[in-house]
């Protein structure tokens, strides 16, 4: 019913930039949260950035000032602009959609992931 497809990953040097794009098909719901998570080798998945339908945005402390999340609700796209990338940003990045019901239940959907590698 709902599918998320990420694109835009790649290999860059420290200080360079990448833009990740997530295309969503299916209903996103009126109340929802879109976001990006990442998982580095040997580590747990962590939140990178999220954006709700009402404009609330959250970033992980490690990416504040460097990453920017944005939503295009008409096109059902969510992007992550990543500037000044560092080796510690190396991870598989996953797009997430959380549909939120009238009683507050969250239903999560995930993309397949896209690899970001930052290396000199």
Q: Are 20 and 114 in contact (CB under 8 A)?
A: yes
CA-to-CA separations, 96 to 38, 50, 67, 84, 86, in angstroms, rounded? 10, 9, 16, 23, 23
Residues 4-55 have pLDDT tens digits of 999 999 999 999 999 999 999 999 989 999 999 999 999 999 999 999 999 9
Return the DSSP state at 91: E
- What is the pLDDT confidence band of residue 3, given thresholds at 50, 70 and 90? very high
Q: What is the pLDDT of residue 100?
A: 95
Residues 67-92 have pLDDT tens digits of 999 999 999 999 999 999 999 999 99
Q: What is the pLDDT of residue 51?
A: 97
Distance CA 117, CA 120 (A): 10
Q: What is the pLDDT of residue 92?
A: 98
User: What are the structure tokens assigned to 60, written together?
Assistant: 């992980």
């Amino acid at each position: 019913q709902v599918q998320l497809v990420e694109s835009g990953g790649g290999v860059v040097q420290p200080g360079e930039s990448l833009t990740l794009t997530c295309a969503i098909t299916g209903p996103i719901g009126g109340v929802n949260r879109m976001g990006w998570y990442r998982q580095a080798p040997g580590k747990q998945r962590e939140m990178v950035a999220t954006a709700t339908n009402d404009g609330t945005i959250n970033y992980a402390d490690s990416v504040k000032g460097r990453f920017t999340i944005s939503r295009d609700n008409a096109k059902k796209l969510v992007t992550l602009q990543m500037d000044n990338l560092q080796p510690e940003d190396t991870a598989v990045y996953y797009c997430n959609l959380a549909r939120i019901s009238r009683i507050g239940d969250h239903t999560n959907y995930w993309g397949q992931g896209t690899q970001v590698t930052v290396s000199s």
